[in-house]
Structure 1
Amino acid sequence: MTALNIQYVNLEKSENLHRHRTQDFSSSRTLVVRRGDPFRVSLQLAGRPFNPTADKLRIKVMLGRLYVLMPVAYSKKPAPSPRWRAYFDPESLDLHNPSIFILPPASASVGFYRFRLSVLNGGRWKTNAQARFALLCNPWCSEDTVFIPFEDQREEFVLSDSGLLFMGTAMNPVARPWSFDQYEPGVLEACMNLLQVSPQHQKNSRRDYLKRNNPVYVGRVVSAMINSEDDRGVLKGNWSSDFKQGVHPSAWTGSGDILKMWANSGYSPVKYGQCWVFAAVMCTVMRVLGIPCRVITNFNSAHDTNANLVIEEYYNEMGQKLKLSADSIWNFHVWVECWMTRRDLGQDMDGWQVLDPTPQERSGGVYCCGPAPVKAVRDRRIDLIYDIPFVYAEVNADVHMMIVRDGRVLKRDKDTERVGALICTKAIGFPQLQNITRDYRHIQSPTLSIRSRNSAVSNDSTLPRGSSESSSGSSSESSSEGVVLLLTLDKAPVAGEPIRFTVHAVNKQNVAKTMKVHFNAQAKEYNHSPLDTFWETHGVLQLAPLEAKVVKQHILPAQYEDVVGDNMINLAVVLEDTATQERFLCSEEFNIASPQLKIEIAQEKSVVFNEEQVATVSFTNPYSHPVSGALTVAGAGLIQGKVQFRMASLSPGGRAQQNITFTPGMLGTKMLQANLELQSVNFTTIRGFKMVFVHRA
């Protein structure tokens, strides 16, 4: 019999991408498939047809220097197995152009593979063809350790290439749009190369390849590789005010630019990142690898440096917050959760796992964190791996607030509710905040004065400002046997409007009191102690026996606009009893809601694939002074790259608008986002987004 002559192998890319739900990776030159499901390759023969009883074929699949040899069997799809399989399906076999199905096990390692097809000819194996493919985890496969049971979850946590990151404060969360960009050209390759560049691979590539079948291992490697503290990681962190050597963290709008910049530089760290950038880039990498991932925000996140579950804060007698403690509370901190089975810990720990790529503390000698099961954090299972005590402290530490003078504590209060006040993520399928605090903490009753926890975010805005069932502000309380002191924001502050707040003082005794009153406001970054005081006022308050008084105050826009920018405000009030020298302290940290860019699309409900559309971006200046800046518009799957425009000086109350033409290149729900970087003393960016559904033509 003449030898079987195979001219070439067709990877049937279109069919396989659709079968494996990887069609959005079509820009990659590599076939992308998921483990646990077969993919088909067809053979183009020259000469005689295939003879199932006489012709023997085998396939060699290679990952680095690791390989497996498997004969091509003549059978139906085999049952799930920990071994690779290759087979002809007898029910659909075309003897002139036969198809081979290759079935990776659900426990195969992720990575770039090669395979060679050989034919037995005259007692010798002859290689006839070879090709390359990328293998990802498979959340659709019940045997895979990343299997997640519902389609809407898989759509949101694996396939979605855009989302929202929540910033600001618990009383006034701000939804920031982010493009994960996992389908942009070059991103898949950068994510795969991240594993190759890791110290684990460089030290022992064989061991690394073998362990890449486990999402727990992959998660730790990626967590360490997103930051550059121990390796050739993606991002260099910078929490100073000097970003001249790179990009301000607030300027990034998506992961694609960062990952491609890193890869194109020969794997030099990209400057600069902060927590939300680290987390968003890690979310991209994990989704590319097929591991379900979502971005989490913890408002009032504790960094407990001495592991005593207590955060100390110090104020002077005038209400100015002091930099005297190594402990800190970030107004918000952002990490990711990944969904996986924890065979190393038992099925009780399956589900969402905390992974934090922001370099804060070392874990196993490396700047990484997790995966810590969320269930273990909630139940304080500090006996388990990985990093559960650190994450537990981030959401559960107590706060001790002290007034000090000359090293002596004059007043001490304890707050057990502030840390972990709100833990949230983007809701499935909607641009909306989902409150998941109870996943992390055992809460008996709602935390005081947390606003907008489940408020919807409109498609072109941030969260509604100050919506609440009771009051529209936030409050802090201090009390003793003598006086009750309460500080309340009248509403969530908005740029261009006065910050209005109220102090309630109650004399609980039958003795008249003369109280000195000190108000103090300091600008602060979300993760730092406050800067110098920018506003203060002082006075005297007379309280008759058992009297309650209300004091109204406000800070005008002209007093805070040039200082705050994208920063927060720490506001404090101190009462001092002139007779007893007893002091009472209340403080509140809050953000000021920025103005928004409005995005409108003329034919919003009929946006069609590959047809030109027009969007209009508009901005109204709410500030008390003229502004100018640069407008950037982007949208993965909608716009190639980014488009930029200059906005001329706009007077207070003035309105500017810009038309943008775009042609959708992908189907489904996509995000169009716009950012206006204002030219001012502080780095201030105005943002807006619009969710766009692209229909088939």
Structure 2
Amino acid sequence: MVVSVQESVYTTLKVQYVNLEQVQNQEQHKTQGLSSSSLVVRRGEPIKLSMFLNRPFRANRDELMLRVELDRLVNDIPIKLCKDSSPSRWTAYFQQASLGSCKISLYVVSPSNASVGKYQLQLLQTSSSGLSSFRLGQFVLLCNPWCPMDTVYMPDESQREEYVRNDIGMIYQGTAQNISVKPWGLDQYESGIVDICIMMLQLSNEHKQNWRSDYLKRSDPVYIGRVVSAMINSNDDCGVLLGNWSENYTGGVKPFDWTGSGDILKLWALSRFSPVKYGQCWVFAGVMCTVMRVLGIPTRVVTNFDSAHDTNGNLVIEEFYTETAKKLPCGKDSIWNFHVWVESWMKRADLGAGFDGWQVLDPTPQEKSGGVYRCGPAPVKAIRERMLGVPFDTPFIFAEVNADVCVCIVGQGQVLSYTTEQHRVGSLICTKSIGSAHPQDITTTYKFTTATPPRRSATTSSAQGLSVTLRLLKAPVMGENITFTVTITNTENIPKTVREYVNAQAKSYNRSPSETFWEAHNIILLAPLESKVLAHQISYNQYAQLGDGQLVNLATVVKDVASQQRVLASEEFNLTRPLIKIRIADEDSIMVQKKQTAMVTFTNPFPEPVSGVLTVVGAGLLEEKVISNVVFQTGESLETAVSFIPKISGVKMLHANLRLSNNPAVIQGFKTITVRSA
């Protein structure tokens, strides 16, 4: 049957098929690899749709509108015949070259301050028979650090790649003197993660209390940051993680056993949003970094070494030791050997341009902010400038990096001596370097200091007539003896008899030490102006049962028998754990969809046989975890072959974790891999 031209003009226009051009759009919007049930795009950037019609579009007769829906918020947009965009409103236009064809290209442009969320698109048509609609599809809209008009705009491409698109994280733990690196899979490209992050916003108390207000405020990364900070912990809502610092992790996963955000977020969703057990500060921060990067807000994980928790706000932390050098669990204030939070990059329109840039957000539940366990965003610039009236939670974070420490020796119910340390708190603040696993020192962005104190190998204290130096002879390594010296100097021109007390206690990073596991007492005779060096050794068997991530608090008190003058020197340190090695024969040949093999090797450094479970993970490389049971004799090496097929190009990471059954050490290793396109 032949249809006349005139007849085809009056045929009702119908959409037969819509192509959301996912590959092209996600490449244009820098969202390649983000996996969702919807198209994933960024605000302020045109979204291309290809519509297949039953006849060519006629501009003078066909009346079309585009409806954009964010749940119950509806926005009807006239479709223009030529390019039309505005940074402050939704626009839509046809591609000129496609007009007159049955395949027509439609572009939709969101404002650069549109709300983050999942949108529905409908095409509305007015004809003689009334108003009809056709569902075009749905998309997830994220913030856009590539758009100069967006409040999260970051001008440097290398920073955007690191703080938005990179899914490899490094979390720094231990002490400022001996940093340990924990690889962390951010996993934002894992299946379902985008949808879980959007659902997190839907489940927030803010959304439940006033859905309309929540949607409208989601244009602001400051608001989003506060919502996510609260939702990462489960203290006030159905948040992701339940914190646990009790060292009893029955019914859940030990915080040190987590290797990335993906497993945690998926478990939370699978459990119908019941809290995942268990988290500590670096777990909270790692998961928050994932969520913020998914939502398009540049974010990095930050470690503050010697982080103060100043409960009374006087910027002084008090520590107490006995006369025999045992540290006491006194007072509500504390210093964590390290504390981990995140920084997110955004403009602060609520404060002014002087506070734009990195903002501290801390999802670890410590103090309430606005009645909810969350913290930030607090401008790093405000912390540095001591502008403590700037919201949000600037005084709390300022105290974490700036408090003084008063160290007291006590006995018979009184303070026998004390010293004040002004530079210990916030001694080093660092984050992952761009394109590297090495820590970047960012201490001077938080506080005025001429330079970060150099890594010391000794601690020296002095009082009238005496000087004492505590020195580790080398960085302590798990499986080896701990060797150190105490040097006592008589600084007066008279002989002295002194007593030396040395005490070692196991310590978790966030609390006072537990009971003494090693000690030594000596009497020393010193000639006028004489120095004596006392060598000490703690054997592996004496500290072998230190728990996951535990450190050692080592202290010495030297007392002048005649004058009763006392001098304290102390050092807190972690033990370097043995590493798992990962190697690939030909790293230059790693390509998408090409099978590769990695060799995972571990040598037992302990003086006894060990056994355990070896787990290898790799987002974008391995579909499933590779798990194997292993047994090592003393000094034995074992090599395991792990095959993988990369799914997407870019820098990826293989991460190996060995959990021993008869030894508390957690042993890890990682290797970053550059995957080339096929």
TM-score range, shorter chain: over 0.9
Q: Which residue of structure 2 aligns with residue 514 of structure 1?
A: 497
Q: Which residue of structure 2 aligns with residue 679 of structure 1?
A: 661
Q: Which residue of structure 2 aligns with residue 693 of structure 1?
A: 674
Specify which of 627, 635, 650 is matched with residue 653 of structure 1. 635
Contact 1:534–1:563 (CA under 8 A) maintained in structure 2: no
- How much does 1:564 deviate? 5.1
Where 1:537 maps in the other structure, the secondary structure is strand
Specify which of 493, 510, 516 is matched with residue 476 of structure 2. 493
- How much does 1:685 deviate? 1.3
Specify which of 581, 594, 607 is matched with residue 624 of structure 1. 607
Q: Which residue of structure 2 aligns with residue 635 of structure 1?
A: 618
Corresponding pairs, count: 669
Q: Which residue of structure 1 aligns with residue 132 of structure 2?
A: 126
Specify which of 397, 419, 424 is matched with residue 418 of structure 1. 424
Q: Which residue of structure 2 aligns with residue 216 of structure 1?
A: 222
Specify which of 387, 397, 406 is matched with residue 400 of structure 1. 406
Task: Give me the identity figure in percent.
Answer: 52
Q: Deviations over 1:218-260 (max 9, x none)?
A: 0000001000001100000000111011000111111011001
| 1:29-428 mapped onto 2 (5 Å cutoff) | 29-46=37-54, 48-78=55-85, 80-93=86-99, 95-122=101-128, 124-428=130-434
Q: Does 1:538 align with 2:521?
A: yes
1:65 maps to a residue whose letter is R
Q: Which residue of structure 1 aligns with residue 13 of structure 2?
A: 4
- How much does 1:115 deviate? 1.4
2:481 maps to a residue whose letter is P
- How much does 1:186 deviate? 1.3
- How much does 1:608 deviate? 1.2
Q: Which residue of structure 2 aligns with residue 607 of structure 1?
A: 590
Q: Deviations over 1:427-471 (max 9, x none)?
A: 001121111111111112431x42xxxxxxxxxxxxxxxxxxxxx
TM-score normalised over the length of structure 2: 0.97
Aligned-partner Cα distance in 2 for 1:337–1:142 = 20
- How much does 1:28 deviate? 2.0
Contact 1:36–1:105 (CA under 8 A) maintained in structure 2: yes
Contact 2:610–2:663 (CA under 8 A) maintained in structure 1: no
1:690 maps to a residue whose letter is K
- How much does 1:562 deviate? 2.1
| 1:528-607 mapped onto 2 (5 Å cutoff) | 528-563=511-546, 566-607=549-590
2:21 maps to a residue whose letter is E
2:62 maps to a residue whose letter is D
Q: 505-514 or 105-114, which moves further after superposition?
A: 505-514
Contact 1:520–1:537 (CA under 8 A) maintained in structure 2: yes
1:403 maps to a residue whose letter is I
Contact 1:216–1:371 (CA under 8 A) maintained in structure 2: yes
Aligned-partner Cα distance in 2 for 1:138–1:664 = 27
Q: Which residue of structure 2 aligns with residue 430 of structure 1?
A: 436
- How much does 1:598 deviate? 0.2
Q: 203-212 or 430-439, which moves further after superposition?
A: 430-439
How large is the RMSD of aligned CA atoms in angstroms?
A: 1.2
List gaps (5 residues or longer) in structure 2.
1-9
After superposition, the Cα gap between the structure-2 partners of 1:652 and 1:161, relative to the gap in structure 1 and judged at 3 Å, is same
- How much does 1:506 deviate? 2.1
After superposition, the Cα gap between the structure-2 partners of 1:586 and 1:564, relative to the gap in structure 1 and judged at 3 Å, is farther
After superposition, the Cα gap between the structure-2 partners of 1:3 and 1:234, relative to the gap in structure 1 and judged at 3 Å, is same
Aligned-partner Cα distance in 1 for 2:675–2:277 = 34
- How much does 1:493 deviate? 1.0
Aligned-partner Cα distance in 1 for 2:14–2:329 = 77
- How much does 1:641 deviate? 2.2
Aligned-partner Cα distance in 1 for 2:474–2:158 = 36
- How much does 1:496 deviate? 1.9
Aligned-partner Cα distance in 1 for 2:547–2:421 = 26
Aligned-partner Cα distance in 2 for 1:631–1:56 = 64
- How much does 1:565 deviate? 5.2
Contact 1:501–1:552 (CA under 8 A) maintained in structure 2: yes
- How much does 1:554 deviate? 1.9
1:107 maps to a residue whose letter is N
List gaps (5 residues or longer) in structure 1.
451-472
Q: 638-647 or 492-501, which moves further after superposition?
A: 492-501
Q: Deviations over 1:569-615 (max 9, x none)?
A: 00000001100111111111000000000001122121111011111
- How much does 1:91 deviate? 4.3
Q: Deviations over 1:196-216 (max 9, x none)?
A: 000000000000000000000
2:350 maps to a residue whose letter is D
Contact 1:35–1:104 (CA under 8 A) maintained in structure 2: yes
Contact 2:648–2:677 (CA under 8 A) maintained in structure 1: no
After superposition, the Cα gap between the structure-2 partners of 1:558 and 1:129, relative to the gap in structure 1 and judged at 3 Å, is same
- How much does 1:546 deviate? 1.9
2:448 maps to a residue whose letter is H
Contact 1:558–1:624 (CA under 8 A) maintained in structure 2: no
Q: Deviations over 1:306-363 (max 9, x none)?
A: 1111111111111111111111111110000000000111111000000000000111
Aligned-partner Cα distance in 2 for 1:339–1:445 = 25
Aligned-partner Cα distance in 2 for 1:565–1:291 = 33
1:49 maps to a residue whose letter is P
Q: Which residue of structure 1 aligns with residue 645 of structure 2?
A: 663
- How much does 1:543 deviate? 1.9
Contact 1:302–1:394 (CA under 8 A) maintained in structure 2: yes
Aligned-partner Cα distance in 1 for 2:44–2:98 = 21
TM-score normalised over the length of structure 1: 0.94
Where 2:500 maps in the other structure, the secondary structure is strand
Aligned-partner Cα distance in 2 for 1:161–1:281 = 12
Contact 2:95–2:104 (CA under 8 A) maintained in structure 1: no
Contact 2:172–2:303 (CA under 8 A) maintained in structure 1: yes
Q: Which residue of structure 2 aligns with residue 463 of structure 1?
A: none
Q: 530-539 or 544-553, which moves further after superposition?
A: 544-553
Specify which of 461, 467, 476 is matched with residue 478 of structure 1. 461
Q: 375-384 or 86-95, which moves further after superposition?
A: 86-95
Contact 1:43–1:97 (CA under 8 A) maintained in structure 2: yes
1:501 maps to a residue whose letter is F
Where 1:573 maps in the other structure, the secondary structure is strand
Aligned-partner Cα distance in 1 for 2:114–2:156 = 23
